Amino acid sequence: MTEREKMLAGQLYDCGDAELLTQWHKAKDLMRDYNQTNSADTEKKQTILNQLLGGAGKNLWITAPFYVDYGENIYFGNNCEVNMNCTFLDDNIIRIGHNALIAPNVQIYTAFHPTNAAERFGEPKEDGSFAFCKTQTAPVTIGNNVWIGGGAVIMPGVTIGDNVVIGAGSVVTKDIPDHVIAYGNPCRVVRKNESSLKCRIFNHSTVKKNDSPLRHLTR
């Protein structure tokens, strides 16, 4: 298996592999170009995203700055909005469904490392330096009609169901089922996501002013 195949299979792999580094640098250059493009130049931004991402549906809006590892392992459905300063470490697949709203500073991780330092770095080289740390991965899947609040962290291997709201600042370490509102560190289901939370499909959300759990949610 190549190191890329090991990476996507969730096996320990070498981040310093030539093929992976080539894609990593390509993604970083495209990411830089996107983040430095004039905000109103939607045509150029779309061209860059077409080169950077693995796939995307219609009406994708990503506010710069936006940060990735490889880019090619990220997939969006239709009508998705990603607000500023989000980081998607796509060492494995990140798949996001239709009508997603992702608030500023959200971090989605697919990579993790051995907790033992000797296993993580191996033996030092003759000059005393270390090779790239060993890494494993697990994919992240986010369903349709999901709103992820500002500053949330989605950990490797997590699946978030359809019609879910994740509160701001949550650390999501386990799967979240369909039709719920969840928040906290670690993130836990608080209640069902019923008619008290009425979302318009793209760009905006309206909620009841007296719905106190919504203080944990922010765009």
Catalytic site positions = 113
- The answer to whether the CB of 169 falls within 8 A of the CB of 155 is no
Strand partners for 207: 197
How many Å apart are CA 167 and CA 170, to the nearest integer?
Answer: 6
What element of type H or E holds 197? Answer: strand 197-199
- The answer to whether the CB of 98 falls within 8 A of the CB of 58 is no
Which residues, including other chains, have CB under 8 Å from residue 46's CB and lie 6 or more apart? Answer: none
What element of type H or E holds 45? Answer: helix 42-52
| Alpha carbon separation from 177 to 80, 82, 140, 141 (Å, rounded) | 20, 22, 14, 12
